């Protein structure tokens, strides 16, 4: 084969490889765009979750306060009932 034919074949192979690489880069660009859109959507959802948790902070504190108060009241009632029942015994 003459050297010109080898050069032309190498050039054609290079063009084909470049076209394949360009196609792959375009596909990756589209995938990156889709991922950015998904991340933006998740960011909005995470902000909503964070806001909900911020609003719920005071609520759980109130529930813990009420639960602690109820437990204390129940303990006092039990203590009083126990002491009243033992005072009547001989």
Cα separation, 13 vs 19, whole angstroms = 10
Report CA Rg, the chain.
38
Mean pLDDT for the chain? 86
The upper half-sphere exposure of residue 57, i.e. CA atoms within 13 Å in the direction of its Cβ, equals 6
Cα separation, 16 vs 50, whole angstroms = 51
Cα separation, 12 vs 57, whole angstroms = 67
Q: What is the pLDDT of residue 7?
A: 87
Q: How would residue 88 be classed by pLDDT, with cut points 50, 70 and 90?
A: low
**35-68 pLDDT per residue, tens:** 888 888 877 788 888 888 777 777 888 889 999 9
């Amino acid at each position: 084969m003459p050297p010109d034919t080898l050069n032309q074949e190498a050039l054609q192979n290079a063009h084909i490889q470049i076209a394949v690489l360009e196609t792959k880069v375009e596909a990756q660009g589209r995938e990156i765009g889709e991922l950015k859109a998904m991340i933006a959507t998740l960011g909005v959802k995470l902000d909503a979750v964070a806001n909900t948790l911020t609003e719920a902070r005071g609520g759980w504190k109130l529930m813990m306060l009420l639960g602690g108060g109820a437990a204390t009241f129940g303990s006092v009632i039990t203590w009083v009932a126990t002491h009243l029942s033992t005072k009547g015994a001989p």
